[in-house]
Chains A and B, each alone.
Chain A
Amino acid sequence: MVLEIKNLVKTFKQADLSKIEVLKNLNLAVQKRDTVAVVGQSGSGKSTLLSLLAGLDRQTSGSLKLHGKELGELSEIEMTQFRAENIGIIFQQFYLMPHLTSLENVSLPLEMFGYKESQERALEAMDQVGLMDRVKHFPHQLSGGESQRVAIARAIVIRPSILLADEPTGNLDNATGFQVADLIFNLVQTTGMTMIMVTHNKDLANKCSRQMTLKNGTFE
């Protein structure tokens, strides 16, 4: 079992001190190599779930285990370490560092931890996303699809066991979106990652091995 969620609850305090319960008693188990599509209306808590899985936020209660590790029990430093080794994240807005070239963006997570062969692995990742001819380009010199492919390369360069994607095609036109989606699925397939993907796109969701719909804070 790669991922195990039990009775997961997440509430937010509002400015007026009232609480909103975004996730209520969520349960989910994901096997290795599973690809899970999380769908649901806007505001249903999809991104919130992903941010919990990424360890960028903490659950209010319940259990959230990745590779048998209870995320809620990790310290911030341990969490950072765990994330850096196991989790790749792809955002809807790509979030590339504007002052670094594509290659440097991709090698960034490796370099941050001083891997020796970071350069080679970054090039490898760039090759995997088919952007060998764009390595020296800066983000503002890339199209949206290319930017997202660089972001994907950056997510997989650490060889994560879990890939989290929050509407990875949301900012792209249909044709480009499909290309990027194909790329993601291929990579997941070949590397044997587990993927949780948030999407509004039916076709994309259908490509996944499982579909979960978030409604009123739980899976339907």
Chain B
Amino acid sequence: MMIIKKLFWPKLALRELRNNRKFSLFFILNLAMGLSGFIALDSFKESLDLHLGKNSKAILGADIALTTYFPFQEENIKYLESNLPENTKVTRRISLFTMVSSIKKSRLVEVIGVEELFPFYGKIFLKNNGIVQDDNHLKKLNLYDESWVYPELLNILNLSEDENIKIGEKNFLITDLVMDDPSSSMSSFGFAPRIYVGFSKLKETGLLTKKSRVSYQRLYSLPKGANLESIVEKLKNNVKNLKGSDSKIRIISHKNAGNNLGRLLGYLNDYLGLVALIAIFLAGIGAAYLYRNYLSHHFRELSILMSLGATRQQTYQMVLWQLLFLGTGASLIAILISIIILPFLPLLLEQFLPRGFVTHISLSSLFFSIFIGCMGSFVFCLPVLSRIRSVKPLYLFHEHFINNDVEFKLWQQWYSYIPLIMLSWFLSVWQSHSWVVGSIFIVMLILSIIVLCLVALVILRIVGDISQNLNSVVIRLAFRNINRNRLGAISCFLALSMGTLLINLIPQIYQGLQEEISRPKDFRIPSLFMFDIQPDQIEALKKLISEENEVMKYISPMVRARLEKINNEVFKSFNDDSPITREQEREQRFRMRTLNLSYRTELSESEYIVRGQPFSSKYDWDSGLPSEVSIEERYADRFGLKIGDTLTFNVQEILIDAKIVNFRRVKWNSFQPNFFILFQPGVLEEAPATFLASLGGLDQFKRIKLQNKIVNKFPNVSVVDVNRTVKRILSISDQMVLALKLMAYLSIFAGLIVVFSIARNEVEGRLWELNLLKVLGAKFNDIQKMIQFEFLIIGFFACIFGVSVSTIMSYGLAWWFFENFWQWTWGISIMSIIGVISMSVIVAWFATRKLLKSSPLTLLRSS
């Protein structure tokens, strides 16, 4: 007989929410504000992943590729290709970085030689000839001395179409411009624009010598139904059997081609995600506060339901339904907001984004946002929710049933916060793709919340004391009110101070970065950076440069080697599991890298020894002792190296043992030639090396002049204009910071909504007493002043502490990352203090103005 009607409880829950329309509205608004940034970001991320995933074949131009820095050996290729199924198509591709020059200027470019079938996937789009569809276009490239270039190259070199461009010893006619190239998934960093030429023609440039670093690739298109993974596996195993240079062949499947390219954007997303998480947190504080008020008014109704026969489980059920509705509502609104925000994100980040990138919201991120909305509202309200246990219908028999009689001692139920902590921990690890960063972030967040709460309690006490001996009634009442409604005051304080902290912290860190990279009078940063210099070219190059009255500095040899053993244990070069966290990703990159070794008699200005002894002197081959090496501090950390460890390097198939004698700290952003591993002099001098060098203090005119001179005389030497690169990096970090700042503004906005909701709620709860004041003769103005004064005090302290904590944090970060370079951005601090205080007062005024105007008569009737 007693079949429980399934829909009864959700219906009742919905009704209650509808009846408490204002509460529902503000709760949803609060949470939606916090969620929207997060959801927009998630969709953005997913769009990016999807784009990169879809395009991964196009990025590689093939299903599988073999790649190496040495020409392939014919018989080895036959051996490897025997693994491939029938009907596999193959095409060859060569690429190298080199300088090209017009009559006027020169520039580092990436030259790519391709055969007719290239690419198997993706379409190259040319300005004049459109999509490269039939092989005719590519045939022409291989028959004539023609080239297609990236449009930006024309600007840089002051060239126009139909002019010639000199690559190595050969002139190429520019016949078309590459408008879209799927194989460069990120719009290139402006570092090296591309030039496409015929595969056979590239061979004629004379650049494919041992002097330049050339990348040889064989690209394969597999027939339908081929098992990519097993073929990759077989190829990898077979490569292990090869000897000589071909043992270094790498097998790339399209699946890992897409991954690396979005890396930088990935990092940015990580941090954006964390800031967005703070916005959620602030919103959550507001929502929990509102919910607490709602629920305490709601206890009586729960009691009535129980006296009418509802079980405790059923009341829980109803409350959970309510949270579910609220969470879903918040997510839906957040989704709406993020649909509006989303199209603007690509505009913000255009420098990073792949060409042809479009944003969209997928079904899965929709479900995800609803999940986060519901879970979020549940875990944030859990500490309040667990109070339902104390609802007793028994109280209905006592006339003095007090709505608020259930005193909220929030910290007594510490365990009810665990789900909240777990969820935010999960989210932050997941957002930052890093256990370390995510965990540190959460610990910092919780710590700052605890510290700010303690600070708030102390302030409340002081405020309470002060209020005893104040003359002005208005101010005294304001102080009392703050002190009486501690939870509201602390919630506002937290929301405002965290928001202030954020908007201060981000620009301060950025300031440090900017000052560090581009201090104008700092000549430590070189103007030009040269690499691939051959040993026999050094003297001539020096001479050429001294003709211009400049000095070539930091000439550093670079010897390529592989790490074979650490303390006589074979070093595993890299594992094939696809990386999940950023740490794994970095680890793989570290481990894959063939090492660049160097040696120098004296350390450069941008490095110093942090532990261990300097090198003894020149190495003595007859001593029979291992040679001495110095390792960069963080590199050593990564591999768990200790001073005294022995490393065995393979330099051109000769094994060299080396003992670690010291660790160095390197200032990488000095843009000087620096190395993870430095040998003592006397060990590597005979090994084949190329040289790096830098030139400092050149003005723009001289930079161009020298660059051209060098390239004309030494075509294999690559010259990078560091100034340009620095500018590029700065403009990219500008964009990153702008994105982060916007996220921070979103969170302060979320904070202000919290203030709005709390102010409204407070005044509503105190309405009868405010009206009583009116009846007793208080003027409307006085009452309004009192409320404003309350929020002025809260806002003031919140800002002061927000700014202080952010200053301390940025100081710490500066000390850690930027070697003690720190400057207080007092302008931003003062602006944010003034801004946030006035905003909170205005918001409080706005939230309460209507309520305060209500006539005292209404109160006497309703009470």
Residues of A within 8 A of B (CB): 47-48, 50-51, 54, 56-57, 76-77, 80-81, 83-84, 89, 91-93, 95-100, 108-109, 111-114, 154, 158, 166
Contacts and interface: CB of A to CB of B under 8 A. Distances in A.
A189 B18 CA distance: 40
Contacts of B305: 97, 108, 112
A80 B309 contact: yes
B309 A84 contact: yes
A151 B312 CA distance: 22
A7 B186 CA distance: 86
B283 to A, nearest CB: 26
Given A54-B307, A76-B311, A47 B5 contact: no
Contact of B5 (A95, A98, A99, A111): A111
A114 B7 CA distance: 9
B8 A112 contact: yes
Interface centre among A48, A76, A77, A113 (most CB of B within 10 A): A113
Nearest to B314: A112
B310 interface: yes
A24 B498 CA distance: 58
Nearest to B11: A111
A80 B311 contact: yes
Given A112-B314, A113-B4, A99 B16 contact: yes
A114 B2 contact: yes
Given A93-B399, A114-B3, A56 B393 contact: yes
B310 A97 contact: no
B401 interface: yes
A76 B308 contact: no
Contact of A111 (B8, B16, B399, B401): B8
B396 interface: yes
B384 to A, nearest CB: 20
Interface of B: 2-5, 8, 15-16, 18-20, 300-301, 304-312, 314, 392-394, 396-399, 401
A121 B312 CA distance: 26
Given A76-B312, A77-B311, A112-B314, A97 B301 contact: yes
A106 B841 CA distance: 46
Contact of A95 (B15, B16, B300): B300
A93 B395 CA distance: 12
A95 B401 CA distance: 11
A139 to B, nearest CB: 11
B520 to A, nearest CB: 67
Contacts of B304: 95-97
B308 A99 contact: no
Given A76-B312, A95-B300, 19 more contacts: A51-B397, A56-B306, A56-B392, A57-B394, A76-B311, A89-B307, A91-B396, A93-B399, A95-B304, A96-B304, A97-B301, A97-B304, A97-B305, A109-B309, A112-B8, A112-B309, A113-B2, A114-B5, A166-B397
B18 A99 contact: yes
A98 B12 CA distance: 12
Interface centre among A91, A108, A112 (most CB of B within 10 A): A112
11 contacts: A47-B397, A56-B397, A84-B308, A84-B309, A95-B304, A95-B307, A97-B301, A99-B19, A112-B8, A113-B5, A158-B309
A56 B304 CA distance: 11
Contacts of A113: 2-5, 309
A199 B83 CA distance: 97
Contacts of B16: 99
Contacts of A96: 304
A43 to B, nearest CB: 11
A47 B309 contact: no
A158 B1 CA distance: 13
A83 B4 contact: no
Contacts of A97: 301, 304-305
A93 B300 CA distance: 12
A109 B301 CA distance: 13
Given A93-B401, A99-B19, A100-B15, A112 B310 contact: yes
A47 B394 CA distance: 9
A56 B393 CA distance: 6
Contacts of B394: 51, 56-57
A97 B8 CA distance: 15
A88 to B, nearest CB: 9
Nearest to A88: B308
Given A51-B394, A93-B401, A99 B15 contact: yes
Contacts of B19: 98-99
A97 B396 CA distance: 13
A161 to B, nearest CB: 14
Nearest first, the 3 closest Cβ-Cβ pairs linking A and B are A84-B309, A99-B19, A114-B5
A16 B687 CA distance: 88
A184 B56 CA distance: 80
A77 B312 CA distance: 8
A50 B397 CA distance: 8
Contacts of A100: 15
Contacts of B392: 56-57
B397 A91 contact: yes
Interface centre among A48, A50, A96, A98 (most CB of B within 10 A): A98
Nearest to B9: A112
